[in-house]
Structure formats: structure tokens, C-alpha cells
Amino acid sequence: MAHNNHRRDRHQHENNNHIHLNPDFDNLNLNENPALRGAPEFFENLFFNGDFAAANEDEEMFDAAAALAVHNLNNNNNNNLPNNDEVEPSCWVFGYGSLCWYPGFQYSKCITGYIKGFVRRFWQGNTTHRGTDEKPGRVATLIEDKEGITWGCAYKITGSTALDYLKQRECKLGGYIILETKFFPRVASYDTPFSGEAVHVLVYVATPDNCHWLGEDTLNNIAEQIVECRGPSGHNVEYLLRLADFMREEMPDVVDPHLFELEFLVLEKLNQRQIPLWSVMGVAPERIRRDSHEEIKRPPTFEFTSRIPERKLRCLNI
């Protein structure tokens, strides 16, 4: 945990002793002059002006996929609710990358847990958030693995606004597609739709078919690329370290070798190059209240115990 304390100290140092090389910097308004942030126009329209109207040749495909997934989720998750035409449709979205610490949309609940059949890998390229066309960053995607488990968090969203935002952020800009899978909560209670069984969620996954795909490489090469890349949303290092922090704080007993080995290598490279950690971390996001239902834990049921590996006892004749 030493490097976490070190990082917090550097953040405090940055907040208390921020220095601008440009003496006129404090007089500049970044919102009035988007070019100062170095962000492309379409990125500004999306994330700073809220303009989702830009046309895209895949618009109908994304809309159809999202509509079908939400329809299936509502059928699966709301089949016990009374009919009410005034109730807006809702669904759950699973995050395993930046959505874990910066969702960017309104939600009513956030629950930590995992999905099966996938592992997290930094094999997707990114040119609109954590990299550029010349130096694409590395971000997380999911790779199918029969024995795999990926931990993250699920958000409950209502209406179409959040899905429209995610369609732009993940699909159009990020190159991800929408899949439907089952989510298992870390904690179940009477306060959630979870009673130990899985619930259907939407998940955004990048495949080798998209134009940003970088694919498998050695961990050392991936770490090198992460250290060198920065985009309109900030440094690629921040993406990795905040995700590792999320995992360590929310699921301290969970081991993710790919993620934590990359974290170690990146911190080592920053130290070797004498790059201050505060210079790549940006502004800390607001803290998300996750698993707010923990204090109302549901009593254990057979559904929970069914997940515990069987153990054989040997009878000793003593």
C-alpha cells in the first residue's frame, strides 16, 4: 500500500503548490476556449457541450443493438413488476474499466460484483480519451475465457439518456460493441433485485474487428505504451492506476494478475524516468457510493452456498 500513500501525498502537494508555467494561464477560461485543452471538436461537442447529434454511419446498428438489449433486460429484470405505463424502462450496465471510477451518467444504484466467462485485458487502443491517432493509449476490454471472472460494478440506469451517452462514449468513440451477460453481486440484500442469483446486464466489449484494436503484447510493452500516452481525458497512466485503486479498495481480496502486474511495471517506469505521479493523475473524481445496501445484508441462502467449492472430509479412525 506504500505507493498509494505516496500518490496521495503527491496529489496533496499538487493541490497546495500548483504552478503554471504560463503566467496568463489563470486568466484563461478552458470552457470558453476548447482548443486550450487540445480536444478535437467532436469530443468537445460530446463531453463538454452535451451534443449527441453528430451523424454516424453505424447509428442505426448501435440503436438497434441497444434497443434489443434493453428490451431483453427489461423482460428479464422487471418481469415481477406490476404493469405501469408511466414507469420508465430501466436496466443494469456493467463497468470494468473507467466506468468503475468515472461513469459520467446518472444512475440510481451502484453494486459491485463480477461476471463469468471473461478476463480483463489492456488490448484495446484509444485515441479519443487516453491517447491520440499518433500515439494510441491502451484501455481495458474483455476476452472470452471459460474459467474467467471479471470484477467491476453494475449501475442501474433509467430512461435513454445514459444509454445515449454510453453509445457515444463506448461504441462510436471507443469502438466497443454491446453484449448481454449475467452479473453476480458481491453482496445481496432485500434492498436490491439480487437474492443471490445472477441478473442480466449490458456490457461493452471491444473485439479484434474494430479499428482501434491493438491486441495482445508483452506486459512490459503494454506498460511502456501506457507511460508514453496521453489524450484529451488525461494521461493513460491515470486510467490504469485509478482502476487498480478501485479494485484494491472495493475488492481487496480479489487478485487480477494482468491489472496489478501492469500497475507495478508502470509505477516502476515512472520512477525510473523520474516522472512525478501527480503530473499524470489529473483531478481526482468524485467518490462513488457503492453497495449502499451492505448494512441490510440478506441472510445466506442456498444460492450463495452453492457457489462455495465443495470440500471432502476424510474420516480418521483414531
3-state secondary structure 241-297: HHHHHHHHHHCCCCCCHHHHHHHHHHHHHHHHCCCCCHHHHCCCCCCCCCCCCHHHE
Is residue 71 domain-resident? yes
Higher-pLDDT residue of 64 and 165 is 165
The predicted structure's pLDDT at residue 23: 36
Domain annotation covers residue 56: yes
pLDDT of 299 strictly over 70: no
Average pLDDT (216-244) is 97
The domain of 156 spans 42-214+287-294
109 within domain boundaries: yes
pLDDT at 71: 53
**Residue 97 confidence (pLDDT) above 60:** yes
Which of 10-19, 168-177, 295-304 is modeled with the greatest confidence? 168-177
Residue 237 CB partners (closer than 8 Å, separation 6+): 226, 227, 266, 270, 280, 281
For residue 306, pLDDT beyond 70:
no
**In the structure, what pLDDT confidence band is assigned to residue 39 with cuts at 50, 70 and 90?**
very low
Helix (H) or strand (E) holding 115: strand 109-126
| Mean pLDDT of all residues belonging to the chain | 76
Q: Is the pLDDT of residue 138 over 60?
A: yes
- What pLDDT is attached to residue 187? 78
Residue 100 lies in a domain: yes
Output the domain CATH number for residue 92.
Answer: 3.10.490.10
Distance CA 273, CA 7 (A): 16
Within-domain flag for 61 = yes
> Would residue 54 count as lying in a domain?
yes
% residues pLDDT > 90 (the chain): 55
- The answer as to whether 48 is a domain residue is yes
State pLDDT tens for residues 122-132. Answer: 999 999 999 99
Tell me the H-state helices in 169-256: 219-228, 236-250
**pLDDT higher than 80, residue 141:** yes
pLDDT at residue 17 tops 50: no
Q: Which residues are catalytic?
A: 170
**pTM for the model:** 0.68
Residue 302 has pLDDT above 50, yes or no: no
Quick one: 227 exposed, middle or buried, by C-beta within 10 A (0-12, 13-18, 19+)? buried
Q: What is the mean pLDDT of residues 47-62?
A: 42
Tens-place pLDDT, residues 231-256: 999 999 999 999 999 999 999 999 99
Strand 230-231 relative to strand 234-235: parallel, antiparallel, unpaired? antiparallel
In angstroms, the CA 84 to CA 97 distance is 35
Is position 206 within any domain?
Answer: yes
pLDDT tens for each residue of 262-273: 999 999 999 999
C-alpha–C-alpha distance, residues 78 and 84, integer Å: 11
CA distance 208 to 41: 27
**pLDDT at residue 182 tops 80:** yes
Task: Say how many domains are in the chain.
Answer: 1
